[in-house]
Amino acid sequence: MTTAAIHQIAQARSVLESAKYRYRYVGFFSLIILLVVLELTIGSVRIPLSAIIQFLTTGHSGQDNWDLILSIARMPRLVNALTAGAALGMCGILLQTLFRNPLADPYILGTVHGARLGVAILLALTGAAGPIPVTQVALWSLIATPAAAAIGSGVATMALILAARRLQQGALLIFGLMLGISSLGLVDRTLQFAGDSQAAVFRFWDHGSFNGATWQQLSIMLPTIAVGCILALTQVKALNALVLGENYAASMGIAVLRARILAFSAAALLAGTVTAYCGPVAFLGLVVAQLSRAFFGTGDHKRLLPGALLVGAVLALGADFIAHLPWEGEPPHLDMLLGLLGAPVVMWFLLRRNNRYSLTV
């Protein structure tokens, strides 16, 4: 076989490979569109699709109560779920690659619990000042609570970055687990010094949910997550090299420490921002990372990171849609739904693929 023929075969394979991923991206994007339609139309109040289209094009659905439901409740919740799911999906891929461990996740590694500790400390410090006035509750939900969560998550991530200078991936994962356990213990102890109103604020925030988002919050959340995603995408080459080990990455000319710090920073920005405004969302990054590798069947982060954005958005929107169906009793919790939706699929793929994607990143 001539060199030209080999080159043509390689080009044909490349075209087929690109088409395969393109169809999968389109499939997940179509699922997102379907879930967006369901989220906006179905709920305790049914809104016709024609009214949804009219609202999106003109700003008015035809009825004032529908306008209020869409603009204040469903649209912000929809954008919040889509963005948070995408961000945590990408964060899961980053952390599993950095730790070279399929169990790595912002919830498991302690960054989420660091955010919880930051909020608990803030509320305990303000407990001596008395109850939070009703007029300041909105300010707390917009600035104070998210800022404390972001600081707590940042401190936990910085501890991981500093530990990464001295520990290998396996030991670093255990370090993160212990960091999270310590933070959880400190949260319970710290809340004993908070007043009743402060404790109520913590319980409301700690109940992880995409509900209750405001356009003011989203105006801060969306640009921050965009920065984290862009930072992660700039590290594609380094992440692909780190999959094969730090020595290999260094031999390829990658500044390993710099790449790890930048990737950790991107993961912290994504997880910290979502936790700040949505509360602790458990295991979404873990589930999405595994599903993304199973569906796309690749370790190339050039394709895997965008895939994780789509899979995370689909899973978050699906869970949020089910949570806000008109249930007779108390609606199911978000974390429970994410576990019921994602975990069985991951287990099925692991068994079907004979563990092909469980330990390879």
Residue boundaries of the structural domains of the chain? 74-352
Kindly report each contact of residues 70-74 with a partner whose C-beta sits within 8 Å and lies 24 or more positions away, as own/partner.
70/40, 74/39, 74/40, 74/43
A 10 A CB-CB count for 87 gives 33
Q: What span, in angstroms and rounded, lies between the C-alpha atoms of 300 and 115?
A: 31
The answer to whether 332 and 305 are in contact (CB under 8 A) is no
3-state SS assignment for residue 280: coil
Residue 140 has pLDDT above 60, yes or no: no
Q: What is the pLDDT of residue 308?
A: 94
> Residues of the chain with pLDDT > 90: what percent?
24
Name, in order, each residue with C-beta under 8 angstroms of 251's C-beta and a sequence gap of 6 or more.
none
Report d(CA 244, CA 141) in Å as an integer: 43
- Asked if pLDDT for residue 201 goes beyond 70, the answer is yes
Q: Please give the DSSP secondary-structure letter assigned to residue 2.
A: -
| Res 361: pLDDT | 40
Q: What integer pLDDT is reported at residue 38 of this predicted model?
A: 93
CATH of 74-352 given 3.50.50.60, 3.40.50.2000, 2.50.20.10, 1.10.3470.10 = 1.10.3470.10
More confident position, 12 or 237: 237
Query: Is pTM beyond 0.75 here?
Result: yes
Percent of the chain with pLDDT over 70: 86
pLDDT tens per residue, range 252-303:
888 888 888 888 888 888 888 898 888 888 888 888 988 888 888 888 898 8
pLDDT band, very low/low/confident/very high, at 313 (cuts 50, 70, 90): very high
